[in-house]
Amino acid sequence: MAGIVRMGLRAAVGLAWLNASGAWAQAPAPALPVAQAFENYSQQDAHEKLFLHLDRSLYVGGDIMWFKLYAVAGSRHQPLPLSKVAYVEVLDAKQRPVLQGKIELKQAAGHGSFQLPATLASGRYTVRAYTNWMKNFGPEYYFHSTVTVVNTFAERLPAAADSAGIDVQFFPEGGNLVKGLPSKVGFKVADKTGRGLDAEGVLLDPQNKVVARFKTLKFGMGRFAFTPTEAGKAYTAVVKLPGQQTVTSQAPAVNEQGYVLSLDDAGPNQVSLSVRASGPAAASGPVYVLGHAGQQAFVATSLPLANSQGQLLLDKSRLPEGVLHFTAFDAQQRPVCERLYFQRPKAQLSISAAADRRQYGTRDKVSLSLRTNDGTGAEAPANLSVAVYRLDSLATRAATAADISSYLWLTSDLPGVIENPGYYLRDSSAEADEAADNLMLTQGWRRFSWDKVLAGGPLPRPYVPEFNGHLVQGRVFNKHTNQPAAQIPAYLAAPGVPVRMYSSLSDANGAVHFEVRDLYGPKNLVLQTNTRQDSIYRFEIHNPFSAVFVPRPAPGLALPELYRPELTQRHLQMQAQNAYFRKPLSAFAQPLADSVSLYGKASELYRLDDYTRFKVMEEVMREYVPGVQVRLRKDGFHFMVVDKVSGAYFDDDPMVLLDGVPFFDINRVMKMDPLKIKTLEVMDGRFMQAGLMYSGIVSYTTYKGDLAGYRPDARALVQEYEGLQWEREFYSPRYATAQQQQSRLPDLRNLLYWNPQVLTSSASGQQLEFYTSDEAGKYVVVVQGLADSGLAGSRSFTFEVKASGVAQAR
C-alpha cells in the first residue's frame, strides 16, 4: 500500500506541518530547508504584474492607440504602488520596436497613447509592458498582447500567411517518463502561428504496437495515459489532422529509473498528489513536496514512500486560487518533478454597466451607468477604464482582446500564447475543468530557478524599482583605458525651468544613477563631470527599454477582397479625423509639476529687469550680488559664496548653474551676455546632494530656459532623451445644442469614447455621457477594472446606432 498523508493547508503565513500522529503541529526549528529557502527567496522578490487595457484590438495606420495600465501585486492582485514608471512598446513581427513610451504610474495606475504612423505596414503587432523591476525576471514575465494594424494606403490587401507547418509536442506529467511507472502525457497540436488544431492519433512502442490512443479536447490540447515498458528506445506518435494529413513525431525519452508525479481529483472535494519512484530512488528515502502560488507557499511536507509510492490528499476548499505549483524534491533536496494545477477563482469584481437605451440616432447622447460589487452584492469601489467602439467586420477578425481577470489569474503565470483564456474562468463545466488541466500539463513554467532559490543568500537584482520617479542610468569610462571609472562625481541636467540638476558618484562598475523629477517629453540631457578637475572621462546614457524578447508566434494577416469596402470606410474615418480634428486630437494635459528648484527657496533672488542693465556679467555680479565675491586669480575668475553659518566666505567655487546645467569654468560664465539672463539666485551655505557637497549655489536662468544659445562644455555628453509621456486628452465632440447638431464637419469616429480614469464609489457608482458619431452600426462598450481588494473584472455589451433624418440630410 502507498503511504497516504491527509492534510489541509496553511491558512496563515507560517507553514503548517503534519506530525507522525496526523495532527497539525507548528513547523519545527529549523524549518525544512526547501521551504525555508523558498520563504527567504519570496521575501526578497516583490512580485509585480502589469495589465494593459487597450481601447481596441484593430487599428488602421494613423489611428491613435489608447491604453490604461494596472500595476498589481503578484500574489493577491491588489494595486501595488511599487513602481512609478511603466515601459510600453509596440513590436513588429521581428521583435523590433516601432513605438515606445515611458508612462507615469500614480497609485498603481497610469494611461497613455500612441499615434500610429500612417506608413506602418499591415500585420500583427505585439504590445508589451513592464517596469524596471520586472526586467530582473525576463521578458516572459512582461505583459504581452497582440493587435492588428491595417495600412489603408496600401493598394494590395494583406495576403494569407503560410501556416501549414504543424507542431506536435508531448509533456509527461511531472516532467518524466520512467520505465514501469504509469504516467499521464499532455500533448498539444498547433500550426506554426500557435493556433491549436483538432487532431487524433496513436502512440506506438518500439515494436510499432499501439499502446495508447488520443484525441484533442479543446484548443489543440489533450492527454492520454500509458505505462512505458522500455527505456532508451523511441516511442512514436502518429497524429492525424482534418483533411487526412498525418504527422509523425517522437515522444519524450523514457528513463530507466526516477520519479513520476501525478495529480488527480479524488472526489468532489479532494485532490490527490501521488509520487512514484523506481530503481535506487525508491529506496533513497522520503520525498519533499512544496506547493506555492503567487510566490507564497501553502503546503510543505515530507512524503514517505511505501512500496515505492506516496500519496498526499489535499482539501480543494482550502487550496489557493489561480495557478498552483507543486514540486517534489528527493532526499538530497533536488527538484525531481513539477506539476501545475488551476484552481478557478470563486470571486471576481462584478461590474454592472448599462446604457440608458438600446438604440440611438447619429449625434445622439448616450448615458452609461456603472456600478461595481464583490460578486455577493456588497459594493466594491473600483478603478475602471471604458472604451466604446464600432463593431464592423474588420473588428471581428482581430485577435480577442485580453481581459484583466483571465490575464491576472492565468495568462500572467503561464508562458506563451493562450487561446481564449477567458474560457477557463467563465466556464465551470467538467469539460472546461479538463481543458484547464490540459493547459496546466502543456504550459508549465515558473519565474525562478530552483538552483538560485536553494543556494540562498542575496539575489542579484541589477534593475531596481523606480520608487519615486524615472531613473536615468549611465556609466563613466576612462577615455584612455576605456575601462569603467569608479568614484567619479557625475552631474545630469535637462535645461529648463524650474532648475533641475542631479548628481551621482559612480560605483565600482562606473555606474551612475539619477532619480529625476518631472522629466516629461523630449529633452536634451547633459551629463558631465567637473571638467576643471576631471577631463579624462567620457559618459554613456543607457536605454531604459528592455533589449531582450520572448519568441512569440506571429499569426499572419489575410484580408480577402470582400473587406475592401470596410477598409475604404476606415480610411475615410481616419483621414476625416486627422483633417478636421487634428488640433483637439493633439491636445495634451499639463502635469502638475513641482515648481520649486532643487535647492528650494533661494537665499537671494535678483530679477535683472528690475535693475539698471549692465552689458558685462562682472559688473552685474560686483554691483548687485553682495552674497557672491568675484575674485580674479592666475587661472581666471572665481566666485566665493558667503557661509550663512560662520559669516565667512567659502574658499571653493560654488556650483554655478545656467538653466540647471553646471558650468564649472567661471571664465565662460563671465563672458555671458547678462541681457539674456532673466533671474539670478544665490544659495548661501553648504548644499549636499546625493553625497556630494557644494560650497553654495549660483543659478542663472534665461528667459526661455533653453541656455539662450550657450553650449555646455565640449567634454560633456549631450543626448536627446524622451522623458515621461505627456498625457494626451481624448477628444469627443458634443452635440448638446441645435447649432452643434447642425455642424457640417463630418464626424466619422470609430472610437466614440475612451476614459481610463473612472472611479466607482460605494455610494453612487458612476455616470458617464458621450455622443454618437455620424457612423451607424453596432457599437460595443468594454469596461475593465480593479478593486482595492484585488478583485478584477470586465463587462461588455452592445448598442445600435441608426442613421437619423438629420444625418441622412447631411
Q: How many helices (H) and strands (E) does the chain have?
A: 12, 51
Within 8 A by CB and 6+ apart from 584, the residues are: 729, 731
Q: Nearest-CA neighbor of 220 among 15, 472, 439, 466?
A: 439
Distance (Å, rounded) from C-alpha 660 to C-alpha 493?
A: 6
Sheet of 777-787: strand order equals 359-361, 792-802, 777-787, 382-390, 751-760
CB-CB neighbours of 98 under 10 Å: 15
408-to-143, 322, 465 alpha-carbon distances in Å: 10, 9, 21
Integer angstrom CA distances of residue 732 from 521, 631, 777: 24, 62, 18
Measure the CA–CA gap between 262 and 357, rounded to whole angstroms.
53
Which residues have a Cβ under 8 Å from the Cβ of 661 and sit 6 or more positions away? 493, 495, 501, 526, 707, 712
DSSP 770-801: EE--S--EEEEEEEEEEETTS-EEEEEEEEEE
Predicted local confidence at residue 29, as pLDDT:
32
According to the 3-state scheme, what is the secondary structure of 196-207?
A: ECCCEEEEECCC
User: Grid coordinates representing 665?
Assistant: 569654468
Q: DSSP assignment, residue 392?
A: -
Residue 250 grid cell: 517522437
Look up the pTM and report it.
0.92
Report the C-alpha gap between 497 and 596 in whole angstroms. 9
3-state secondary structure (DSSP) of residue 210: strand
Q: Block means of pLDDT (10 residues each) for the chain, length 810 residues?
A: 50 33 32 80 86 95 96 93 97 95 97 95 94 94 93 77 77 94 95 89 95 96 96 93 88 94 90 93 85 90 91 94 94 91 94 96 96 89 96 76 92 90 92 96 77 81 93 96 96 92 96 94 95 89 96 78 84 86 82 78 93 93 93 94 89 95 95 96 91 94 95 94 95 93 92 96 84 95 96 96 62
First to last CA, the chain: 84
Whether 382 and 353 have beta carbons less than 8 Å apart is answered as no
Listed in sequence order, the residues at least 6 apart from 21 whose beta carbon sits closer than 8 Å to its beta carbon are none
Q: What pLDDT sits at residue 470?
A: 96
The alpha carbon dihedral of 546, 547, 552, 554 has a sign of positive
For residue 385, what are the contacts with CB-CB under 8 A and spacing of at least 6?
53, 68, 111, 755, 756, 757, 758, 783, 784, 785
Which helix (H) or strand (E) segment holds residue 58: the answer is: strand 58-60
The answer to whether residues 404 and 796 touch, using CB atoms and an 8 Å cutoff, is no
Sheet holding 236-240, edge to edge: 210-215, 200-204, 236-240, 246-250
User: Going by C-beta distance under 8 Å and a sequence separation of 6 or more, which residues neighbour residue 503?
Assistant: 489, 490, 491, 492, 514, 689, 690, 691, 692
Whether 329 contacts 287, CB under 8 Å: yes
Give how far the C-alpha of residue 279 lies from the chain's centroid of Cα atoms, to the nearest Å.
46
Of the CA atoms within 13 Å of residue 287, those in its CB half-sphere come to 34
Rounded to 10 degrees, the C-alpha dihedral 698/699/702/706 comes to 130
Backbone angles phi, psi at 407, to 5 degrees: -70, -50
